[in-house]
Amino acid sequence: IASRDAVIDEEHGIWARIFLPTDQVQGKGEGDSPKLPVVLFFHGGGFVTLSADFFIFHVLCSSIAEKLGALVIGVNYRLAPENRLPAAYEDGFAALKWLADEQGGRRDPWLASHADLSKILVMGDSAGGNLAHHVTVRAAVEDLGEMRIMGQVLIQPFFGGIARFPSETKPQPPNSTLTTDLSDQLWELALPIGASRDHPYCHVVAPDLKAQLREIEALPKALVVAGSEDVLCDRVVEFAEVMRECGKDLELLVVENAGHAFYIVPESE
């Protein structure tokens, strides 16, 4: 897998790391390179920490590119508390528009040569899963030209709320990568000042949002992944159930005995 960085928005410091499976183009002449599906990936970190070039996400995106035979774009967005939500959502959608824009995304030679914009998958883990959801909802009501989002993958998306769920109150192992207390602290730093955890950025299945989801007909099918030992498990399951109630095509995968970020921190409980 080859990788290179590209600037999305210099003013706001938004950039991306692009991953290209080199065996897909080996031996092809100029102008004869195959077009690849595109994965737009948003990293986790509670909206407060980590980055697209952090080594665990570099390895993860490389693996996704290799296994899917796709061009993967890992987006580096602004973080809280210096840039509270919705800054990350705005950056995520800016990345999508950059990819769709003839004068933006396609200026990058790798995207111009290899990106099939009719086959876009929006993916994210933890806070990136939350971000991917909000970006996809907005994209469903925006004009993206010839770009087509064919699906979304939300891996242990970072959702919350004031009322506690059983997975948030049960005893949590000392080596958990995410606890209820830490989740609360991250939301306090990420949400707009004065907002509670029932804000729709966090509590995404609030009644008014349910009505909005029912009105959106163009949401792509989704794969939602939860870990049975993750503090977020019940939140993720609730989200999947509400999406299904709203008539959305969604598959829920609950990985047994898996804690938060099990796919990059194998020793997590």
Catalytic residues: 126, 230, 260
| Cα 222 to Cα 232: distance, rounded to the nearest angstrom | 18
| CB neighbourhood size of 126 (10 A) | 27
Tokens coding 83: 């840039």
Cα distances (Å, whole numbers) of residue 189 to 17, 31, 183, 210, 225 = 26, 47, 10, 26, 25
Q: What are phi and psi of 12, to 5 degrees?
A: -100, 5
Helix, strand, or coil (residue 140): coil
The one-letter amino acid code at 46 reads G
Phi, psi of 264 (to 5 degrees): -125, -15
Contact 156, 253 (CB under 8 A): no
Query: What is the token pair recorded at 127?
Result: 């806070």
150 Cβ contact partners less than 8 Å away, ≥ 6 residues apart: 37, 119, 120, 121, 220, 221
The DSSP output letter for 33 is P
Three-state DSSP at 221 gives strand
